[in-house]
Amino acid sequence: MRYYDKLIFELSRPGRSGFSLPEAEGGMPREGRLWRSAPAGLPEVSEPDVVRHYTNLSQMNFGVDTGFYPLGSCTMKYNPKINEEIASMPGFTGQHPLQPEESVRGTKAVYEELDRALAAITGMKHFTFRPCAGAHGELTGLMLMKEYHLGRGDLARTKVIVPDSAHGTNPASAACCGYEIVVVKSNSDGLVDVEALKPLLGPDIAGIMLTNPNTLGLFEKDIREIAALVHDCGGLLYYDGANMNPLLGVVRPGDMGFDILHLNLHKTFSTPHGGGGPGSGPVGVSERVLPYLDVPRVSGFNGNFTVMLRALAYILMLGRENIRMAGRLATLNANYVKESLKDCYKLPVPSVCKHEFVFDGLLEPNGTTTLDVAKRLLDYGFHAPTIYFPLLFHQAIMIEPTETESPETLDAFIDVMRKIAVEARTNPELLHSAPRTAPIGRPDETKAARQPILKYEA
C-alpha cells in the first residue's frame, strides 16, 4: 500500500492544519448558540495532504478524460470542454427557478432553441424538458401514452409490447406506469420478429416500445411495417432514443412513424455522465400526442438546465453537416472494431451494425469468461465494455466506441483485445487473476451495490 492510499483520517494529526489566521480582535467567543458542543471530527491535515488526498481519489476512477471507454449502450463520448465553460456561465447558474419570466429571457430562448433543434433532428413536434434521466423520460412518455388513450375514451388498452432485446428500463417503466408487459421475440437476425408481433396486436395494446438501432446495434429495417401494424391496431409507438447517436442527421424517428420518444441528452448530446448524474431525458411527441404534452412547456423547474446548455452548445457547434458526421463516424468506428476482432470473439449476429455491437465471449475461451476479459482490459488501461447485457447471450460483450475516438486509439484497443484472446489460450491464469493494477480487484458486485461502506469508522 502506498502512503497516500491511506484514508485522510489516518493521515490526521492533532492540531495540524493548512491555514493560520490571527485571533479575532477581542478573542473568539467560545460558547453560545452557534458554538458546537463537540468538535466536528474532521481530519487535521496540512494543505498538501488535502490536495494529494483528493487528487489521488480522482485517479482511482476511470473516465472519458483518462482513457478509452467503450461502454455499450452508454455512449461515453468525449465531451468538449467548451460546453463545460458555457454550462458554468454565471448568468445561467445564478438563476432561481422562481425568478419572473421577463428576467430569464435568455434561458427561455435556450429551451426554445433546443426544442427547435431536437424537433428538427427527431421529426417530433415539441419536447418537454422536465424529465431528468432516460428512465424518467420513459415514464413521462408512457404516461402521455396513457393520457392519449384515456383522452379518447379508450379504456381497454392495458398492455405494452417490448422486444426481448430491450433495455431493462423499458419494461420497468411500463410496469411502473401500470401496464402489463408483453414480450415480442427477436428473429435470428437480431431484429423484431414481425410475424411474432402480428398475433400480439389487438384492442388491449396501448403501444410498443422500441429502440432503433436496437440493443444489439442493429437497425430495425422493418420499422415502417411495424409502425403501420401498431397504428392499425390503435396503439402508439414509443421510441427509446437514449442512443440516438448513429441516426443523427441520417434518419428521424418521426419519419419512421414514432409518436413519443425520449432522448438522453447526457449520452447523445455531450455532458459527462455515469455515477448517477446529472441527466436530462426530454420527451418529444408527434402531432397526435401534442395535446397531452404538459404546458407551459417552458417554465421554472424544467429539469437539469445545464445539461441542456451543453446539448445546445454541442448541436450548434457541430451544425447541420457535422452532426451527420457524428452518426456516421460512430457507425464506422463500431464496424471497424467488430470486423477487426471477429476472428477472436464470437459474433452471434454478423450483419452491419450501427453505433455498437455485441460479441458472445471469446471464440476459444479455454475456461475464461467475459468477466475475465473485462477485468484484464483494465490492466491494459482501457475501460471494460458493457458485459452480460443484453441478456440474449450468456457471455455478452457490448462494445460502443463512439465517434470521438481516433483510428490509433481503436487500433490500440483492438491490439489489446487480440492479445487477451492469446493470453486466454496460453495463460488463462493471467485473466482469472486480473486486474492486477486497479485499486480494487473483484468486489462482490451485489454487496458493493446493496451494502456499500461509505464512511470511515476507526
Ligand X SMILES: *Cc1c(COP(=O)(O)O)cnc(C)c1O
Measured distance CA(432)–CA(427) in Å, rounded: 9
Cell (9 digits) for 234: 390503435
The contact pattern for ligand X, residues 346-365, with x = CB under 6 A and - = no contact, is --------------------
* Residue with smaller CB distance to ligand X, 76 or 349: 76
Q: Please state the closest distance from residue 269 (CB atom) to ligand X, in A.
A: 12
Stretch that binds ligand X, among 128-136, 156-164, 200-208, 342-350 (CB under 6 A): 128-136
User: Considering the rule CB under 6 A, would residue 370 count as an interface residue with ligand X?
Assistant: no
* Residue with smaller CB distance to ligand X, 143 or 420: 143
User: Contact at 8 Å (CB) between 266 and 424?
Assistant: no
User: Considering the rule CB under 6 A, would residue 341 count as an interface residue with ligand X?
Assistant: no
Task: Kindly state the number of chain residues that form the binding site for ligand X, as judged by CB under 6 A.
Answer: 13
Q: Which of residues 55-74 bind ligand X (CB under 6 A)?
A: 73
* Residue with smaller CB distance to ligand X, 201 or 239: 239
* Residue with smaller CB distance to ligand X, 159 or 273: 273
- Member of 107, 165, 264, 270 binding ligand X (CB under 6 A): 264
Cell (9 digits) for 208: 410498443
The contact pattern for ligand X, residues 181-220, with x = CB under 6 A and - = no contact, is ------------------------------x---------
User: Considering the rule CB under 6 A, would residue 134 count as an interface residue with ligand X?
Assistant: yes
Q: Which of residues 237-256 bind ligand X (CB under 6 A)?
A: 240, 242-243
- Member of 77, 149, 157, 167 binding ligand X (CB under 6 A): 167
Measured distance CA(438)–CA(61) in Å, rounded: 9
Q: Please state the closest distance from residue 449 (CB atom) to ligand X, in A.
A: 15
Q: Which residues form the interface with ligand X (CB under 6 A)? A: 73, 133-135, 167, 169, 211, 240, 242-243, 264, 279, 281
